[in-house]
């Protein structure tokens, strides 16, 4: 048993050394085990260029394989013998020595075989490495050539892209510059146009102001001339009212209307006059009306006392009664004819002809007939005076507006 254990340990040591040349250690261990399998060494693939030494190494390995098989058979025999001779120490010692000697011889042979295989594989590996180095150098050179070509292509493409990008950037910069110049020219043109328009607007305003000034001046002169004509015609009418013998009222009223034919106030004031007044040569003055009213008032008082239908006798009776009766004066508070004449006399004395006419309008019968002519004359003068007063106020307004 001790001899077998020693043999197995040495076989395991030899297998570990064989692992250095790519021979699996388990193969030797299994070959030397009690149930060893046939020993098959494993070689690295040397390729199609393996030398004769490799063939000899294979043959040596085959011989060693056979020898290991024989040793395995002998080991089995030794086992059987060891089992049979286990009773004798001398036989066991002899078997142990024989096994030990055989193990040493086999280990020495196996070691030499492994050394030989290692040398063979070192040469084969060196040649193969040189071939692989040459192939790798060639592949490296080809790869470098391809890389150089690819790099040149990439550089050409990059240069082309850069040129295109620079061209686009240059074109964009030129376009931006053109747009900037165009915008500057447009802004300058717009500013110049605005300046011209401002000058034209100022010139237009000046022309409009000058035209307005000329128009206003012409209009002012025209209106001033028309106003002067109107004032002159109105002055002529006032002169006729003052009783001038050479001043005829009718023609001067027509001249007053002709002086402002487009003035509605003037036309309305002239058209409002009675037709007889508008065509009359003159109207009595206030003094004349006052003088006439004394007679009208006396005759009216007498007529107020004349009974109706009595004829001349009644007039005589009325004159006698009027001479004997008290003559009322002032604003008498009564409704008879004498009181009306008294109030009318009060207004006439103060040149209030319109109020006197209003009072006389209350008369009826013979007193009204006596006072009618004076009432017509006074009403005509009042109408003309009212029109003149209205037109004088109108001319004053026009004068203020003209100023």
Task: Report pLDDT for 309.
Answer: 54
C-alpha–C-alpha distance, residues 350 and 346, integer Å: 7
- Single out the residue of 282, 289, 290 nearest to residue 237, CA to CA: 282
Distant-in-sequence, close-in-space partners of 29: CB < 8 Å, separation ≥ 6: 8, 11, 12, 15
The helix (run of H) or strand (run of E) holding residue 336 is none
pLDDT tens for each residue of the chain, 403 residues long: 566 556 656 655 555 454 434 334 444 333 334 434 344 444 444 445 546 666 776 777 788 778 778 887 887 877 777 677 666 667 767 877 887 888 788 878 878 887 887 777 777 777 788 888 888 888 888 888 888 888 888 888 888 888 888 988 988 998 998 898 889 988 988 998 898 899 888 888 888 888 877 777 777 777 777 778 878 877 877 777 776 666 677 778 778 778 777 788 888 888 777 777 777 777 788 888 888 888 887 777 767 666 565 555 555 555 545 555 546 666 777 677 778 888 888 898 888 888 888 888 888 877 788 888 888 888 888 888 888 888 888 888 888 877 6
Task: Report pLDDT for 4.
Answer: 54
Task: Report pLDDT for 32.
Answer: 38
Task: Report pLDDT for 337.
Answer: 74
Which string of b and e fits 239-278 if b means at least 16 CB within 10 Å?
Answer: ebbeeeeebebeebbeebbebbeebeebeebbeebeeebb
Phi/psi of residue 352, each to 5°? -95, 75
Token look-up 């109107």 returns: 230
* Cα-to-chain-centroid distance, residue 58: 97
* Tally of helices (H runs) and strands (E runs) in the chain: 12, 0
CB 330 within 8 A of CB 346: yes
C-alpha–C-alpha distance, residues 25 and 121, integer Å: 17
Q: Where are the beta strands (DSSP E) in 311-366?
A: none
Instruction: Look up residue 307 and give its DSSP letter.
Output: P
Instruction: Look up residue 20 and give its DSSP letter.
Output: G
C-alpha–C-alpha distance, residues 300 and 306, integer Å: 10
Quick one: 129 exposed, middle or buried, by C-beta within 10 A (0-12, 13-18, 19+)? Answer: exposed
Task: Report pLDDT for 144.
Answer: 86
Distant-in-sequence, close-in-space partners of 292: CB < 8 Å, separation ≥ 6: 284, 374, 377
Q: How many CA atoms lie within 13 A of 116 on its CB side?
A: 16
Give the dihedral sign, CA 260/262/265/271. Answer: positive
Cβ neighbour number for residue 210 with a 10 Å cutoff: 10
């Amino acid at each position: 048993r001790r001899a077998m254990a020693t043999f197995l340990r040495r076989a395991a040591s030899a297998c570990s050394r064989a692992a250095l040349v790519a021979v699996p250690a388990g193969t030797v261990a299994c070959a030397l085990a009690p149930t060893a399998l046939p020993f098959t060494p494993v070689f690295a693939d040397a390729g199609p260029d393996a030398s004769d030494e490799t063939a000899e190494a294979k043959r040596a390995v085959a011989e060693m394989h056979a020898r290991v098989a024989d040793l395995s058979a002998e080991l089995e025999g030794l086992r059987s013998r060891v089992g049979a001779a286990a009773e004798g120490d001398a036989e066991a010692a002899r078997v142990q020595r024989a096994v030990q000697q055989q193990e040493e011889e086999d280990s020495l042979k196996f070691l030499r075989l492994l050394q030989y295989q290692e040398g063979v594989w070192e040469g084969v590996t060196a040649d193969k490495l040189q071939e692989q180095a040459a192939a790798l150098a060639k592949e490296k050179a080809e790869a470098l050539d391809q890389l150089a070509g690819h790099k040149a292509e990439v550089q050409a493409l990059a240069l082309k892209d850069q040129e295109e990008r620079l061209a686009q950037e240059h074109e964009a910069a030129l376009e931006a510059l053109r747009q900037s110049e165009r915008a500057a020219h447009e802004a300058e043109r717009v500013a110049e146009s605005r300046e011209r328009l401002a000058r034209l607007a100022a010139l237009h305003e000046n022309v409009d102001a000058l035209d307005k000034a000329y128009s206003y001046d012409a209009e002012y002169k025209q209106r001033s001339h028309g106003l002067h004509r109107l004032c002159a015609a109105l002055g002529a009418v006032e002169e006729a009212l003052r009783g001038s013998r050479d001043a005829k009222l009718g023609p001067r009223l027509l001249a007053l209307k002709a002086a402002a034919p487009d003035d509605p106030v003037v036309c309305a004031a002239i058209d409002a006059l009675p037709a007889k007044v508008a065509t009359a040569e003159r109207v009595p003055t206030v003094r004349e009306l006052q003088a006439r009213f004394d007679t009208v008032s006396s005759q009216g008082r007498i007529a107020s006392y004349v009974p109706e239908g009595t004829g001349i006798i009644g007039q005589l009776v009325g004159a006698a009664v009027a001479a004997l009766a008290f003559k009322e004066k002032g604003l008498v508070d009564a409704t008879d004819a004498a009181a009306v004449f008294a109030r009318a006399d009060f207004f006439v004395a103060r040149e209030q002809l319109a109020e006197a006419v209003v009072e006389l309008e209350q008369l009826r019968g013979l007193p009204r007939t006596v006072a009618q002519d004076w009432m017509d004359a006074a009403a005509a003068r009042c109408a003309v005076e009212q029109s003149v007063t209205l037109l004088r106020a109108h001319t004053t307004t026009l004068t203020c507006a003209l100023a």
